[in-house]
Amino acid sequence: MSKIIGIDLGTTNSCVAVMEGGEAVVIANPEGNRTTPSVVGFSKSGERLIGQVAKRQAITNPEGTVSSIKREMGSNYKVTIDGKAYTPQEISAMILAKLKADAEAYLGETVTEAVITVPAYFNDAQRQATKDAGAIAGLNVKRIINEPTAAALAYGVDKEQDQKIMVYDLGGGTFDVSIIEMGDGVQEVLATAGNNRLGGDDFDNRIINWLAEEFRKETGIDLRNDKMAAQRLKEAAEKAKIELSGVMQTSINLPFITVDATGPKHLDMTLSRAKFDELTHDLVEKTMAPVRQALADSGLSVNELDKVLLVGGSTRIPAVQEAVKKFIGKDPFKGINPDECVALGAAIQGGVLGGDVKGILLLDVTPLSLGIETYGGVFTKIIERNTTIPTKKSQVFSTAVDNQPSVEVNVLQGEREMARDNKSLGIFNLDGIAPAPRGIPQIEVTFDIDANGIVSVSAKDLGTGKQQAITITSSSNMSKEDIEKAVREAEQYAEEDKKRREEVETKNQADSLVYQTDKVLKDLEGKISEGEVSDIKAKQEALRTALQGGVKTEIESKMTELEMALHSATEKLYAQAQQQANAGGAQGGYDAGAQQSNDGAYDADFKDVD
């Protein structure tokens, strides 16, 4: 059985998506774009051009180029090109056929079935026309669904109980607002309103006009009359608009934009988000009238709306989001690419119809990272979040003090750097470790998560073969909110946590160096001068004091001093050894740079259980 693709057949742009591995994904066209302009061109040579390529030749061939055909769907309108009349269905079919071919190229298999979306206000004739367009394109249209419903599906709203949702869809050239009710089997359009001549291009034009006006005031030259300059202005305006969704101001730089008698002219301006908002304020306001209208028609009050979803590229504009939020009194739902969410929802519907959605074995992922607590209260991750399960991973650790008889394994879940900020899932001890200097024993810790999310953690002393394990079933019991909270907090405290972790790591390093110094001094006994020994000992003591003080920079500087003293001592030793080697006998030396860990052992130690 072939896959059922989901198509958002838009007025300005169209998008196609499909279920893959239980997830909806957008299919990019061969040119690499995730949406395709809904434009059809008939070249003079009779070639049919669809999408971006049709757009590029539109100005040279206005009679042979059709755009926004969606506005005519279901009517008796016909376009006549080279003496042949085409219905809106036929033109739409050409767009659908391209999307179908792109999907086939992507999937590597034939596609015969599709779910296509239409605006909620489409009447029966318009829906039938859309279905016919699919048939002409060679697609069996399994279902026509409303765009707002598809958006809600993409957001997974259908999985919750009955709710009333407002979908605010500001696309490239049209604005629609719909109020729908959905939930267990219920799917009802309560009201729709809109403005079919309002979209992202209007926002671009405001920037272009502002730039051109400012430039004219400065130089007296109107860039809009210069095709070349106008083209560059248009590109720059679009770029500025996109940038202003992320930053508070952007610079628009167009060197050598034009030339007059006095020489070349450059355009160099800064557009702040505030200015942009001022320039486009009325456009945003224009969308609010249909919002009020739809709400009034639905008979609902603002408080009765459960959710607001934003669809369409222009809803990325912060002022638009702000206006919606202000009116509804709730944060609108974001997160899914607003250009793609309708197609994604259609693909999900296709997946449900094809049995894909529940048929496929849904592979789960670990919602949060898992790991153990190591020396100094650091959280060492063993399995990263979002790893697909089942999975198994091991790491080798060692002890933190000499003759440590046992290690404590504290199994943790979370994203924070320090153990105490994460959730402990269970603790167990592995004892009977043979007496050995710190860093020598090798303890292998293994995390094993099965397909049901059950975590088994085992610790094995590779020296003695002794093993201890624990099985945890509660890791999956965290609610979605808890998980989101954990991830959010990790981001929020990332800087702080990193600092704390670095502090601990510095301390661990210093602690290890103090310890190693004793060993080195023993090795060097009789090979270096008394003076050197006492110098090293003094620096070791200084580091010890610094460690107690706990100031990172202080520890670091004392550590460097001690390391240098050790290095110069060992260098001498090597020089001596060299001489002796020349004389016939070689002797090993100590490399002060080496960490305490043994071969292959991870240099993060367990904290001491005592």
Partner 1 sequence: MENKEKMETPELENETVQEEKIDVMKGIETLETRLIESEKKLAETQAELENTKGTFQRTLAEYNNYRKRTAKEKAETYNNGMVNAVTNILPVLDTLEMALNAPCTDENYKKGIELTLTTAKNALSNMGITEIDALDKEFDPNLHNAVMQESVEGVDAGICTKQFQKGYKLGERVIRHATVAVSC
Q: Which residues are catalytic?
A: 8, 70, 147, 169
φ, ψ at 516 (rounded to 5°):
-65, -35
- Rounded CA-CA distance 443/378 in Å is 17
Q: Looking at 54, 69, 157, 211, which residue binds partner 1 (CB under 8 A)?
A: 54
The full length of the chain comes to 610
The smaller minimum CB distance to partner 1, of residues 3 and 507, is found at: 3
Rounded least distance, CB 256 to partner 1, Å: 3
Rounded least distance, CB 204 to partner 1, Å: 15
Residues 104-123 that bind partner 1 (CB under 8 A): 106-109
Beta bridge partners of 395: 445
Q: Find the part of the chain contacting partner 1 (CB under 8 A) among 50-58, 124-132, 420-428, 514-522.
A: 50-58
Q: Find the part of the chain contacting partner 1 (CB under 8 A) among 85-93, 117-125, 253-261, 504-512.
A: 253-261
Q: Examine residue 390 and say whether the peptide bond preceding it is cis (omega within 30 degrees of 0).
A: yes
Rounded least distance, CB 287 to partner 1, Å: 30
Token reading at 307: 């959710």
How many helices (H) and strands (E) would you count in the chain?
A: 14, 25
Q: Find the part of the chain contacting partner 1 (CB under 8 A) among 259-267, 324-332, 404-412, 413-421.
A: 259-267
263 lies in the binding site for partner 1 (CB under 8 A): yes
Rounded least distance, CB 61 to partner 1, Å: 9
Q: How many CB atoms are located within 10 Å of the residue 405 CB?
A: 16
Phi-psi region of 408 (alpha: psi -120 to 50; beta: other; left: phi over 0): beta
Q: Looking at 227, 326, 480, 522, which residue binds partner 1 (CB under 8 A)?
A: 227
43 lies in the binding site for partner 1 (CB under 8 A): yes
Q: Looking at this protein, which amino acid is placed at residue 389?
A: I
The four Cα atoms 158, 163, 166, 171 give a dihedral, to 10 degrees, of 0
The smaller minimum CB distance to partner 1, of residues 357 and 412, is found at: 357
Residues 12-41 that bind partner 1 (CB under 8 A): 20-21, 32, 41
Q: Looking at 34, 58, 318, 454, which residue binds partner 1 (CB under 8 A)?
A: 58
Q: What is the DSSP letter of 105?
A: H
Beta bridge partners of 26: 17
567 lies in the binding site for partner 1 (CB under 8 A): no
The smaller minimum CB distance to partner 1, of residues 85 and 361, is found at: 361
| CB 27, CB 20: distance < 8 Å | no
φ, ψ at 45 (rounded to 5°):
-85, 5
Angle separating helix axes 341-354 and 147-154, nearest 10 degrees: 80
Beta bridge partners of 272: 249
Instruction: Give the x/- contact pattern for partner 1 in 394-433, rule: CB under 8 A.
Output: ----------------------------------------
Token reading at 27: 């299919």
Residues 325-364 that bind partner 1 (CB under 8 A): 356, 359-361
Where does this chain bind partner 1 (CB under 8 A)? 1, 20-21, 32, 41, 43-44, 49, 53-54, 56-60, 106-109, 227-228, 231-232, 255-256, 259, 263-264, 356, 359-361
